[in-house]
Amino acid sequence: MLTAEIKDRFLQQYPMLRELPDEDQAEMLATASLMHVPAGTVLFDEEQSCKGFPLLLSGNIRVIKASPHGRELQLYRVIPGESCILTSSCLLGDTPYHARGIAEQDIEMVVLPASAFHTLLDKHDTFRGYVFHLFSDRLTDLMQLVSAVAFQKLDQRLAILLINKPGPIHATHQALADELGSAREIVSRLLKGFAEQGWVKLGREQIEITDTAALRKFAAL
Amino acid sequence: MLTAEIKDRFLQQYPMLRELPDEDQAEMLATASLMHVPAGTVLFDEEQSCKGFPLLLSGNIRVIKASPHGRELQLYRVIPGESCILTSSCLLGDTPYHARGIAEQDIEMVVLPASAFHTLLDKHDTFRGYVFHLFSDRLTDLMQLVSAVAFQKLDQRLAILLINKPGPIHATHQALADELGSAREIVSRLLKGFAEQGWVKLGREQIEITDTAALRKFAAL
DNA sequence: TTTCCTGTGTGACCATTGTCACAGACAGAC
DNA sequence: GTCTGTCTGTGACAATGGTCACACAGGAAA
């Protein structure tokens, strides 16, 4: 059972649920439960099937593929307002996961039982539209990612990654490598190159972009 | 308007449409049209939005990403009974395509107008389930592909590709390279290696697997 | 037959990335 | 302060894949 405050934040974050008829909304809220998950938790993993439909309130989920040699590659990130489409995929396709989901920060999420999820999907276009959109976006993301991994050089991918991170970047080289699916040393090496070009300033767990324009030009090349 | 013969084949290929109430089925069939497309045609391309929902009767569609340097990489293949999920993604998300679709053979397909597609989706669970399943499968495929491109060596990917092709393989090295996202010379080189191991016999546009077990073992390594 | 075109074989060479093995550097704990 | 664990810098090296520049083979067309 959710508190009034959580309900508010929940509906704030997922506006399409506000459009449900009152009784359906109430029913949905009645079956939902709130979960707290500490940062670092593995929320799901390969070959593991799923229980409910999670809707994020706060915190991100990193969805990754791990290689047998200990490297990893981030497929995408789930942010509040987005829900994890992989779960939907599981619930709808009855297939197990094929990736690992890790809580990047502490997470608050509302979990709908599978039955409620199906009911919403059957009865309400807006919810359906929302889920389809998520699928659609993920497909697009993944196609983009495949293309990047297959055809782009690492330095460009790194540049793009940096550009798309907001503000002063706080991350270890290892973390960046894990996002790119590469090794820490390579990232260090490339960053050093960027620094020598005067594009970034490096510090411990910190990267400051000093010449966005140049970096962007390099990335777009 | 479809002929009776086409209707039959159509419903044969897409069983979930047979479960529709008669009048809905009739309405759907009334708005559908048959298209023939010769092999090699580009059915859709990046940044190009879409008209209708195609359901394949015969022939395959290769969905690929092309690199700026002329290389290409196959994302997946659409076979009869499957429809092209990318199109759904477009219709549902109003986003343009982000890949290219090429008719691998001559194609027959039934095309539903976007409106009919949406109607079916709204009214019928089975159709909805079908579409969700397609999405789900594609997501899985793509995640698998990303992982392969990022972490597997080309020789293994080639071996897997060969294993999964039925019967005596009839393809140019270039075609294989395009499926893998690599260059022709590399494929030739690797195939030569396989031949030296006695795993395959090579001929012009033809590859015969002579030791499936060894090849499989190598692929699984 | 000769001519072409496409597909394949190949060797030399390069660029990129990955691996390994450390050495320093910094921050927080003690 | 010292210690300790994490993060980063770095050099040598290997391996994989890609590029280029051809030669050559086989089959279809002229």
Encoded tokens for A97: 């996961």
Query: Rounded to an integer, what distance in angstroms lies between the CA atom of residue B211 and that of residue B201?
Result: 10
Whether A140 sits inside 8 A of B71 (CB atoms) is no
* Burial classification of residue B190, based on how many CB atoms lie within 10 Å of its CB (0-12 exposed, 13-18 middle, 19 or more buried): buried
Q: Over 80: is that where the pLDDT of B33 sits? A: yes
**pLDDT per 10-residue tile (average), chain A, 221 residues:** 90 93 93 92 80 90 93 95 82 79 92 91 90 88 96 96 91 96 97 94 92 93 74
pLDDT at A1: 74
Whether B151 sits inside 8 A of A181 (CB atoms) is yes
Whether B139 sits inside 8 A of A142 (CB atoms) is yes
Positions of strand C less than 7 angstroms from a protein CB: 6-12, 16-21, 26-27
Whether B146 sits inside 8 A of A92 (CB atoms) is no
Q: At what angle do helices A154-164 and A125-151 cross, to 10 degrees?
A: 140
3-state SS, residue B108: strand
Site of tokens 């290892």: A174
Contact with chain A for residue B75, Cβ under 8 A: yes
Whether B136 sits inside 8 A of A69 (CB atoms) is no
Residue B106 φ/ψ, nearest 5 degrees:
-60, 140
Closest nucleotide relative to residue B67's CA, C1' based: D18
Condensed to tens digits (0 to 9), the pLDDT of residues B51-92 reads 788 999 999 999 999 999 989 999 999 999 988 878 777 777
Q: What is the DSSP string of chain A?
A: ---HHHHHHHHHH-GGGGGS-HHHHHHHHHH-EEEEE-TT-EEE-TT----EEEEEEES-EEEEEE-TTS-EEEEEEE-TTS--HHHHHHHHH-PPP-SEEEESS-EEEEEEEHHHHHHHHHH-HHHHHHHHHHHHHHHHHHHHHHHHHHHS-HHHHHHHHHHHS-SSB---HHHHHHHHTS-HHHHHHHHHHHHHTTSEEEETTEEEES-HHHHHHHHH-
Condensed to tens digits (0 to 9), the pLDDT of residues B204-215 reads 889 999 999 999
> Going by C-beta distance under 8 Å and a sequence separation of 6 or more, which residues neighbour residue A4?
none
Q: b/e map of A76-115 (b: 16 or more CB within 10 Å)?
A: bebebebbbbbbbbbbbbebebbbbbbbbeebbbbbbeee
Identify whether the C-beta of residue B39 lies closer than 8 Å to the C-beta of residue B59. Answer: yes
pLDDT at B49: 66
- Please tell me which residue of chain A has the smallest CA distance to B152: A67
Contact with chain A for residue B145, Cβ under 8 A: yes
A54 strand C contact, CB < 7 Å: no
A79-98 residues touching B, CB cutoff 8 A: 85-86, 88-90, 92-93, 95, 98
pLDDT at A96: 77
Condensed to tens digits (0 to 9), the pLDDT of residues A88-99 reads 777 777 777 789
Condensed to tens digits (0 to 9), the pLDDT of residues B153-176 reads 999 999 999 999 987 899 999 999
Nearest 5°: the CA angle A20, A25, A31 is 145
Identify whether the C-beta of residue B91 lies closer than 8 Å to the C-beta of residue B118. Answer: yes
Measured in angstroms, what separates residue A206's CA from nucleotide C13's C1'?
39
Please name which of A150, A191, A118 lies closest in space to residue B145, comparing C-alpha atoms: A150
Condensed to tens digits (0 to 9), the pLDDT of residues B92-133 reads 777 777 899 999 999 999 999 989 998 999 899 889 988 888
Measured in angstroms, what separates residue B189's CA from nucleotide C12's C1'?
15
- Please tell me which residue of chain B has the smallest CA distance to A125: B122
Closest nucleotide relative to residue A180's CA, C1' based: C17
Q: Over 80: is that where the pLDDT of B47 sits? A: no
Please name which of A158, A149, A148 lies closest in space to residue A193, comparing C-alpha atoms: A158
Nearest to B135 among A68, A90, A135 (CB): A135
> Going by C-beta distance under 8 Å and a sequence separation of 6 or more, which residues neighbour residue B56?
B13, B78, B79, B80, B81, B82, B83, B84, B107, B108, B109
Encoded tokens for A165: 């991170």
pLDDT at B89: 76
Determine if the pTM surpasses 0.85.
yes
pLDDT at B112: 92
B172 strand C contact, CB < 7 Å: yes
Q: Over 70: is that where the pLDDT of B191 sits? A: yes
pLDDT at B192: 95
Site of tokens 């479809």: B2
Contact with chain A for residue B138, Cβ under 8 A: yes
3-state SS, residue B109: strand
- Please tell me which residue of chain B has the smallest CA distance to A146: B146
pLDDT at A88: 77
With a pLDDT cut of 70, the percent of chain B lying above it is 99
